[in-house]
Amino acid sequence: NAGVTQTPKFRVLKTGQSMTLLCAQDMNHEYMYWYRQDPGMGLRLIHYSVGEGTTAKGEVPDGYNVSRLKKQNFLLGLESAAPSQTSVYFCASSNSASVYEQYFGPGTRLTVT
Amino acid sequence: GQSLEQPSEVTAVEGAIVQINCTYQTSGFYGLSWYQQHDGGAPTFLSYNALDGLEETGRFSSFLSRSDSYGYLLLQELQMKDSASYFCARRRLTGGGNKLTFGTGTQLKVEL
């Protein structure tokens, strides 16, 4: 039981490049989330999904897109990276009945130069 | 509003008791969670309060007072390994489903 996994762990992009962050969970959770964490700002919700085939915007969705084609996977895309997107990205998942208890992946540290 | 207020830093000595406070905006409030995050690590769930009162889990307890829009995390018998950041997170019920909004975190330093 791996829980929540994320790939890659680290990535450096040049401004304007694109990439996709992958998140997978093996707990059969309905809900999945993408957060970014910047120093002194806590965790901010980018996008989330309440089930396969559904996505919704969080607090800071601009510049990101997501897809949830399979229940266990949640992908975060950056179409044209900007230095402001330098951050640590965390994926999380939860049961629909216990949103208060989210399980987090190890994070992806992204630097955009 | 959706903001939560926590102290940015707290320092305590090993073996002591420390309380980390959290105040929140009441609009759409549904409950308060607490998470721990060690440097370079992922946040991990500690506790949740939906109703007023104290929830105890080993050395950690969490308290909620909905009338005061206030909660706290209490850590007893502090150990060096408790040095970490602690986040309160407000559960909101919105049209798009349940979500959490996190505070900016409190960095706890445990000293000898």
Question: In this predicted model, what pLDDT tens digit does every residue of A65-82 receive, in sequence order?
Answer: 999 999 999 999 999 999
Task: Provide the pLDDT confidence category of residue B30 given band limits of 50, 70 and 90.
Answer: confident
Q: Closest partner residue to A105 among B42, B104, B105, by Cβ?
A: B42
CA triple A69-A5-B42, angle to 5 deg: 125
Is the sign of the CA dihedral A110, B2, B8, B13 positive or negative? Answer: negative
Residues B76-80 have a mean pLDDT of 97
Q: Where are the alpha helices (DSSP H) in chain B?
A: none
Top residue of A48, A54, A98, A99 to mutate, by most chain B CBs within 10 Å, is A99
pLDDT tier, A29 (very low <50, low <70, confident <90, very high otherwise): very high
B103: which chain A residues are within 8 Å (Cβ-Cβ)? Answer: 42
State percent of chain B over pLDDT 70. 95
Residues of B with a Cβ under 8 Å from any A Cβ are: 8, 31, 33, 41-45, 48, 50, 87, 89, 91, 96-105
Residue A105: closest CA among chain B residues belongs to which residue?
B42
**What is residue B32's predicted lDDT score, i.e. its pLDDT?**
96
Residue B83 vs residues B10, B11, B38, B102, B104: alpha-carbon distances, Å: 10, 9, 7, 19, 16
Residues of A in contact with B101 (CB under 8 A): 45, 59
Question: In the structure, what pLDDT confidence band is assigned to residue B95 with cuts at 50, 70 and 90?
Answer: low
